[in-house]
Amino acid sequence: MKRSSTSVGLVIAVVAAAAFGASGAFVKPLLEAGWSPAGAVTVRAFIGGFVLAPFAIVAIRGRWSALWRARWRVLAMAFIGVAGTQLAYFAAVQRIPVGTAILMEYMAPLLLVGVAWVRTRRMPKAVVLIGSVIALAGLVLVVSPGGGAGSFDSLGLVFAIASMVGCAIYYLVAARPSDGLPPVALAAFGLLIGGVVLGLVGLTGLVPFTATFREVQLFGGPVPWWIPLLVVGVVATAIAYATSITASEMLGSRLASFAGLLEVVAATFYAWLLLGEELTIPQLIGGVLILAGIAFVRSERAEAAIALEPGSVTRQASLPDAA
């Protein structure tokens, strides 16, 4: 049953990565038309939250106490998982190359492996360490760090590290026991509150916050500005967050974060398919390496599940997936 649950969780995680990855291809036309990243992200969060809100209300109907019990988890998702991580990332890309910022943020799985190592004072299994190295090598090939415009400075690196920590915290929060709160509710209220936080930060002027309402170029022709926003809000935000949180609860933060690396692969594929950007052989190899890394990390859970089966000669204590 445990192995079956992990397989289902991985499928959901792949759906989440594919949905998250669509954001870049549809947000890029908005940015080229004059939207600021913070403006697009804020509207995206609100659209996603409002789309999920009716489903969240139905899911927790009669169990509103579950929302109150999970209030700190919801706030952590809103302030860190939705708002903080994205603000730190956008602050980073203003100072360092985009590829470097993405690479730093998506090193979150390695941070989670290190946190588990420190907390348990037990070296991760060889399959986890091997999977981490392989996945990191694949990520480097996919994002091509160091490319793109922008100067490098220490403050940009600090922001990039902050985005990595925020990404890791997102998976930790998403993977915590639900205590009766459905994943769709955590996603909905986290996005709505996160949208408010992003909007308030934009009003303070700490980050550029602009929006335009003219047609944008998409698929080789002009389309209304709200079409790409709607796609991003519904697919790359509402569906993406709901499925990602569901997968994290099933897989644990560590395996879910490694599966989340597929978002980078998906984004590269969408950019090639929808925007005509080049898809190189090294990027394809990188995607394969990321899949191999996930397989190594997943094998640790499979071994643990076998060891915990009734009647197993090698039955051992359950290993908490705190990271």
Most confident of 95-104, 186-195, 313-322: 186-195
DSSP string for residues in 67-131: HHHTHHHHHHIIIIIIIIHHHHHHHHHTTS-HHHHHHHHTTHHHHHHHHHHHHHTSPPPHHHHHH
**Residue 105, CB-side half-sphere exposure with 13 Å CA sphere:** 30
Most confident of 59-63, 102-106, 206-210, 228-232: 228-232
- Among 307, 300, 306, residue whose Cα is nearest residue 321: 300
The lowest-confidence range among 78-92, 159-173, 293-307, 308-322 is 308-322
Query: 0.75 exceeded by the pTM?
Result: yes
Mean pLDDT of 123-130: 88
Please give the Cα distance from 87 to 80 (Å, whole number): 9
Q: List pLDDT tens digits, range 200-235.
A: 988 888 778 888 898 888 877 889 999 999 999 999
pLDDT of residue 315: 43
Collapse the DSSP code of 209 into the 3-class scheme (helix H, G, I; strand E, B; otherwise coil) and give the result.
coil
Average pLDDT, the chain: 85
Q: List pLDDT tens digits, range 66-94.
A: 999 999 999 999 999 999 998 888 888 77
The lowest-confidence range among 11-15, 51-55, 241-245, 261-265 is 261-265
Collapse the DSSP code of 5 into the 3-class scheme (helix H, G, I; strand E, B; otherwise coil) and give the result.
helix
Tokens at 159, concatenated: 């922001």
Maximum distance among all Cα pairs of the chain, rounded to whole angstroms: 67
Q: What is the band of 279 on the pLDDT scale with cuts at 50, 70, 90?
A: confident
pLDDT of residue 164: 92
- Among 22, 79, 68, 74, residue whose Cα is nearest residue 233: 22
304 vs 294, higher pLDDT: 294
Mean pLDDT of 93-118: 84
pLDDT of residue 245: 95
Judged against a pLDDT cut of 80, whether residue 23 lies above it is answered with yes
Mean pLDDT of 181-207: 91
Judged against a pLDDT cut of 70, whether residue 316 lies above it is answered with no
Helical spans, DSSP H, in 276-322 = 281-308
pLDDT of residue 96: 79
Tokens at 268, concatenated: 């590269």
Pairing relation of β-strands 216-218 and 221-223? antiparallel
Residue 164 near residue 107 (C-beta atoms within 8 A): yes
Judged against a pLDDT cut of 90, whether residue 48 lies above it is answered with yes
Q: List pLDDT tens digits, range 303-312.
A: 554 444 545 4
Mean pLDDT of 276-302: 85
pLDDT of residue 301: 65
Judged against a pLDDT cut of 80, whether residue 117 lies above it is answered with yes
Judged against a pLDDT cut of 90, whether residue 238 lies above it is answered with yes
pLDDT of residue 314: 43
Judged against a pLDDT cut of 50, whether residue 323 lies above it is answered with no
- Among 310, 6, 295, 61, residue whose Cα is nearest residue 184: 61
Mean pLDDT of 122-142: 89
Mean pLDDT of 314-319: 41
Q: What is the band of 318 on the pLDDT scale with cuts at 50, 70, 90?
A: very low
